[in-house]
Structure 1
Amino acid sequence: MDPPTLPATRLDVDVDLGFALFFFFLLCFFLLITIIRCAQLVLDPYSAVSASAYQEEQTEE
């Protein structure tokens, strides 16, 4: 006779699917952060420039 088969437990997880979903959600997270950062840059482009870039150099005469 065949040995009795155990019922599938909740620990039976497809590891490849887990890794794929993890990296997919990680990619989506970075994409969302990039979209937000680009939108902020489009709305206010001068906020990313430091104040020292606006200062004129003092020339000695």
Structure 2
Amino acid sequence: MEEASPSSAIDVDKGFAVAFVVLLILFLTVMVYRCVKLVQNPYEASSTTTDPSLS
């Protein structure tokens, strides 16, 4: 019974590490997508609500 608790603690730590890596990869993927979108068309990606329209 004493050996079961350290192995489950290692599994929990491993689960947290895997979840952190997955969330980090997801966050970096979203940031890369937004940066590519900004580089491709910077005028469309920028906010136009604060700029008054001239037309």
| Structure with larger RCO (C-alpha < 8 A, sep 6+) | 2
User: Rg bigger for which structure?
Assistant: 1
Fold conserved (TM > 0.5)?
Answer: yes
Q: In the TM superposition, what are the counterparts of 1:1-61 in structure 2 within 5 Å?
A: 14-47=11-44, 48-50=46-48, 53=51, 55=53
Identity level (%): 38
Which consecutive residues of structure 1, in runs of 5 or more, have no partner in the other structure? 1-11, 57-61
Which consecutive residues of structure 2, in runs of 5 or more, have no partner in the other structure? 1-7
TM-score by length of 2: 0.68
Q: Kindly report the root-mean-square deviation, in angstroms, between the aligned alpha carbons of the 2 structures.
A: 2.1
